[in-house]
Structure 1
């Protein structure tokens, strides 16, 4: 019997190797330990003149697939499987004479010929040699991966490393795998044409590569390095996901073939690999082939769910930047300012201008916290257990330099001089005077308010008025109501001497030097506004406004100032809105609450930082019927935040009335991208997170609802684009809800701050 065929079999049960089968006294595999990334390592006494192949099978009788090979020498040879240990995998080691080498990949060249060629190729597949400037047929190390990679955006993973791969003849027993050099080749087709000599058209290539598992001849995808991923088994940080174009539903057979080829050709990177079904299109096929994927997961395929991929990440970049300030742990009672880098253990309901933001609970790109960070260029990141992080804890109470990047965060101690210098460098050098038109002196219906009236009513009111001019799809609505102009706020403040009162408070030295004194003074000012005497003519106007609604209607009174919802400045969350119920008496009671929010601490601090004139700030009020109860609420951006080259929309959604922008009890919203990515469907959905308030496997809004919302977002984008004079990188941010009748309600829209 040829000793090269003698197997030494091992069965993995619960990841613990147990020797089985025959052994040979000249070479026998020891019980395999696991390396740091939990890949089985087999040791065998080797000899010169032979090379050794490690083979894996789901059964002790085969079929066998070679997963590693190496030439022999006098000594103990280690062979490491290409993937981490799974529940049921059998292994054999085959010794092959160098004088009679095998052709493992069946390409007509022996394994040794491929190793020893002046331009070596990969014995695991039939791909030919290509110039290193174009790519590789194998990744011999993580350095090889890094040399080919570029940084790109993926839903839930901004600015991560990606290496593209292409597998030709994937439908045959002799596939060819290539890793592309992203610096030179951005698209799979042009790589195939210019490097591999593919002669078909782009249309032909797409037909052979994407969207159909029946006609598929090739596979094109990406290897995405999630450096911050923490495996649940405690092995070293990092995961490379194998992903395909989101609208390309790749079947199990092709997923397995790609995974086998890639892991065997990139085994020395030192990083584990897993297949990630990144879109709802792929998740749907995954569920339909669940039996196949489940069986493969026992012996040959690692997969990772979206919720686990991002749920196991201890760091997420929300907004890159650099800030200087004192590092503090927010306890809910102390005041914070632009001189503080703040660790929040839960998401705050409101937030002032800060030097840096760290949250111990996940955020989304569309939360009010991150919208404020983007507006102010504030570094913002989720860092799990930040207060106990050994890099952060020793710096609590000290001045620091804090920087957030896609790779992680950087922090060091800083001097008070650095803090002050940085603060002054980012503040506007001169006072800013917000535009305030006081020439409109009457309440107007939204139908009588235009986009240009924003300077008299505020951008929120003017934009809702514009939303009502859009031709909506059935089952979509926009609130209808009235706008109270700035003139009313200004006249009320003057009639009660409240401008003079505010000026006197601000003139007190302690107002600027003592945060507690300032907070108490602003609280007293807000109280004075809420208790101020309303002139009779204003009361009469409010009574007439209220009479326009059916008796018993509760009215939503929404803040609409002249320094929020502007291009380049959202002011999200600075001011307050309130609901007026019939039992509360005159409408003026609730309107005064809205007016008083001009002097909220967070709003004052924000204006102070930007040197905005507090006395030119004016408050209008948008009044419309209140929506009692809702099935879902959310926000969205009329832009593909991941890859703007493809039309798409980024959406956050949450069940019921738990706001996406200011979540209660750290509830996690549903976060997804819906985009036009070719394929069988008009839209493709890619989820980043699923709502923590929904049962597992259920989404807040259905696919038809998401598609309806996307269609309306396109209308909003196209309506406002010319109104804002076609700025580059334009997008609108909107708030929406689904009411108890199932109707989609567009609540408001404002320019997105990129």
Structure 2
């Protein structure tokens, strides 16, 4: 298998590249054997000069020729790989001429035709004779070098012949172009395939299978191409840290770790660099986090066993993801420390407004309310405004309706003074439980009555061990059960005196109530059937021993109850803010990410169990009447989602930091579910993110977005309201999956091929010129270009019912919704040309088996 690493050195000579055949790993040994006397800078300059002198080649005899003309691709699914564009002039004659041209210099075919070949026609004339016609005069396209493709036959590397996605190139022209290219790319004739890059071209292929087979044109589809790629670049950049392999259940990585994930984690810590051995898409949570944090991120199949990676595992490394691959080199601790300090920002305090004290209807809110309710809730409220007209047109709801819980309620909950409750210790004493959950009661008692019960087995001349009560004991009561045949008496140990003559307590004498005085105690005694009770009122200033003697063998029980002053720490008041402050001050917490993970987990459990005030309870319960106006018993499932002032913001999306949950009708108070969301502000991943960015933990507030939960989704997806591959063309990038199988965190599924990682539909909706006049709306088409298709075969134990995850109508609705969202939010955020929104959507569930409807769940600014 071709290595997927390289050293950070330029491509130096024809001999190296010819031997490497496009490899993105170049060893120092190989370089030293080929380069003996020339200066590296000089060689680099020479190569660049050679590239700049060539406008085109008509034959490519080596990979070096290809490299000399190549630019970095911006095509869907093939970002940053090498692309050479070609133009076949006079394609409809007996003497067509093929030009592989300098794609870096001439990014557009017309530019090359006019400037490189001297074509004298206008752009409109060129387009009308090059695209969309069966009898065209010229033919334009691209060749992409998929260096990380590995075929089932063991061939590494593939070159795909492609056309403009919406150009309906005939089978005959496709055959002609393929064979001319294969003949003139002499160094790679067995590695070239035609790739139908859009539904337009895929339909032509499917309708002409016999022709393509007889013409012997090899064709590769999206699912084959991208399933067999063993390396892809998700986010370029560099970082320093210790290279660690992370398996499920392993200790939490830190920001000074470069991690190789053997799975796609749900909880992603802030790390220095990411390699996954499972494929990702640009919209996966892991890549959104990488883009936000400028973290280098790449997919590398079986990275742990790569011979260039394995020796560095456990070592300090510099990790860089470039357009060619990844760079892993040894690093020093000083380099790691210097890099980490250089990328950390200055301390930050998130904005907030705590003046709103009650939940508010989303219909009363807008984007500007994010400082009171969080960006997620505010943007959902704003979404309703953006999609109002489309909802009216389509006749169904497209945005959730409901409430938002303000930051102030979280802040009040965390600030409430809390006291401990009591529990029995091993000796039966009531002691504080050490958990500060209960709201403090101003009138709480300062003493408690504790009972210590002891089973007795006594016989004549073999008394039970005496029981000692400490000096200062108060208001004691001694109850001797099964007392027949037993004598109970007491001794003042401090003053060495018997408290009472034991005779009055014998069975023969003690038959009624009686009382006496001793020092500061009043002693009352009572005999009732087989029970003897002695009550001592007041405080003892002496140590007291209690004896039980027997006239014969007796099994009995002695219970001693006394008043106890509660310890001073029982009355200490500690809010949750104070509790987490103490946790954070601990040296072990500061030093170890594993300790932080464990301590924060314990703290979240406490926050979830804390008591709310009656007023909070009332305000939160009132929200449920929005969906169940009749009140209890409730019938609706309610979704509660995090909405902080530290996520979904321009420049910081906070994807996956916090948690949401669904409150079912029979789960009791909705406050219990709200507390789960509040507690998630203290997840380990969120804490580590704030810690790295020096964001004030105590000025980060949790709001809650509250809306109805719609049950099992028929489909779920994410999208970006721009063409992430080419900003020059309007477009929308979409990942969508069947059911509730996660798009952002792919999970294992069972298919006819066994257990595999789930793959979503991944496609680009691009608004492309498909005619002569760019000013005529009728000459623009919306092309749907699939990068890969979902590999899910069953959903909810039933076969999938649609060829693609979304129907054609749903795709149109989604595209129109994304257009409306982009148009609405761009001025709200004062966005520039690169502005876009990142959305989450679903197709809702239905009870009757019919198709649900499109609903946009969330929108936040996209981070490039």
Q: TM-score, normalising length from structure 1?
A: 0.80
Structure-2 separation of matches of 1:184 and 1:386: 36
Structure-1 separation of matches of 2:687 and 2:339: 21
Q: Determine whether 1:221 maps to 2:141.
A: yes
Give the match for residue 81 of structure 2: 160
Q: Is the 8 A contact 1:240 1:271 kept in 2?
A: no
Structure-2 separation of matches of 1:644 and 1:480: 33
Deviation at 1:467, TM superposition (A): 0.4
Give the match for residue 486 of structure 1: 407
**What aligned pairs does 1:172-251 form with structure 2 within 5 A after superposition?**
172-213=93-134, 215-235=135-155, 237-251=156-170
Give the match for residue 578 of structure 1: 661
Give the match for residue 726 of structure 1: 831
Give the match for residue 792 of structure 2: 693
Structure-2 separation of matches of 1:659 and 1:331: 20
| 2:231 paired residue among 315, 334, 348 | 315
**What aligned pairs does 1:59-458 form with structure 2 within 5 A after superposition?**
133-213=54-134, 215-235=135-155, 237-268=156-187, 272-297=191-216, 301-333=217-249, 334-428=251-345, 430-458=346-374
Structure-2 separation of matches of 1:610 and 1:735: 26
Structure-2 separation of matches of 1:608 and 1:416: 21
Classify the secondary structure of the residue corresponding to 1:682: strand
Classify the secondary structure of the residue corresponding to 1:172: coil
Distance 1:722 1:537, change over 3 A: same
Structure-2 separation of matches of 1:544 and 1:153: 52
| 1:564 paired residue among 632, 642, 647 | 647
Q: Determine whether 1:553 maps to 2:636.
A: yes
Classify the secondary structure of the residue corresponding to 2:203: helix
Deviation at 1:726, TM superposition (A): 2.4
Q: Deviations over 1:73-101 (max 9, x none)?
A: xxxxxxxxxxxxxxxxxxxxxxxxxxxxx
Structure having the higher Rg: 2
Distance 1:520 1:149, change over 3 A: closer
Q: Determine whether 1:745 maps to 2:855.
A: yes
Classify the secondary structure of the residue corresponding to 1:615: helix
Unaligned runs of 5+ in 2: 3-51, 419-574, 629-633, 749-756, 771-778, 795-799, 846-850
Deviation at 1:446, TM superposition (A): 0.6
Classify the secondary structure of the residue corresponding to 1:624: strand
Q: Which moved more, 1:601-610 or 1:394-403?
A: 394-403
Give the match for residue 597 of structure 1: 680
Distance 1:161 1:587, change over 3 A: same
Structure-1 separation of matches of 2:317 and 2:79: 25
Structure-1 separation of matches of 2:861 and 2:175: 44
Q: Determine whether 1:673 maps to 2:764.
A: yes
Structure-1 separation of matches of 2:340 and 2:210: 58
Deviation at 1:270, TM superposition (A): 7.1
Deviation at 1:133, TM superposition (A): 3.6
Q: Is the 8 A contact 1:575 1:600 kept in 2?
A: yes
Q: Which moved more, 1:696-705 or 1:680-689?
A: 696-705
Give the match for residue 8 of structure 2: none
Structure-2 separation of matches of 1:191 and 1:391: 40
Deviation at 1:398, TM superposition (A): 1.6
Classify the secondary structure of the residue corresponding to 1:225: strand
| 1:627 paired residue among 705, 710, 730 | 710
Classify the secondary structure of the residue corresponding to 1:346: coil
Deviation at 1:581, TM superposition (A): 0.5
Unaligned runs of 5+ in 1: 1-35, 37-130
Q: Deviations over 1:707-727 (max 9, x none)?
A: 221111010001000110123
Deviation at 1:431, TM superposition (A): 1.6
Deviation at 1:476, TM superposition (A): 5.3
Q: Which moved more, 1:185-194 or 1:320-329?
A: 185-194
| 2:727 paired residue among 625, 644, 648 | 644
Q: Is the 8 A contact 2:248 2:263 kept in 1?
A: no
Deviation at 1:136, TM superposition (A): 2.4
Structure-2 separation of matches of 1:285 and 1:558: 46
Deviation at 1:703, TM superposition (A): 3.1
Q: Deviations over 1:4-32 (max 9, x none)?
A: xxxxxxxxxxxxxxxxxxxxxxxxxxxxx
| 2:621 paired residue among 543, 548, 568 | 543
Q: Deviations over 1:243-295 (max 9, x none)?
A: 10011121110011111111212213577221111111111111011111122
Give the match for residue 736 of structure 1: 841
Deviation at 1:172, TM superposition (A): 2.1
Distance 1:338 1:629, change over 3 A: same
Classify the secondary structure of the residue corresponding to 2:211: helix
Distance 1:352 1:318, change over 3 A: same
Q: Is the 8 A contact 1:169 1:218 kept in 2?
A: yes
Structure-2 separation of matches of 1:606 and 1:209: 52
Q: Is the 8 A contact 2:768 2:782 kept in 1?
A: yes
Structure-2 separation of matches of 1:527 and 1:282: 55
Higher RCO, Cα 8 Å, sep 6+: 2
Deviation at 1:747, TM superposition (A): 0.3
Q: Which moved more, 1:689-698 or 1:354-363?
A: 689-698
Deviation at 1:234, TM superposition (A): 1.8
Q: Deviations over 1:475-501 (max 9, x none)?
A: 451000011000000000001400000
Classify the secondary structure of the residue corresponding to 1:425: helix
Structure-2 separation of matches of 1:288 and 1:212: 18
Classify the secondary structure of the residue corresponding to 1:671: strand
Q: Is the 8 A contact 1:279 1:684 kept in 2?
A: yes
Distance 1:442 1:529, change over 3 A: same
**What aligned pairs does 1:648-667 form with structure 2 within 5 A after superposition?**
648-665=731-748, 666-667=757-758
Structure-1 separation of matches of 2:259 and 2:118: 56
Structure-1 separation of matches of 2:105 and 2:272: 39
Structure-2 separation of matches of 1:545 and 1:260: 68
Structure-1 separation of matches of 2:615 and 2:325: 58
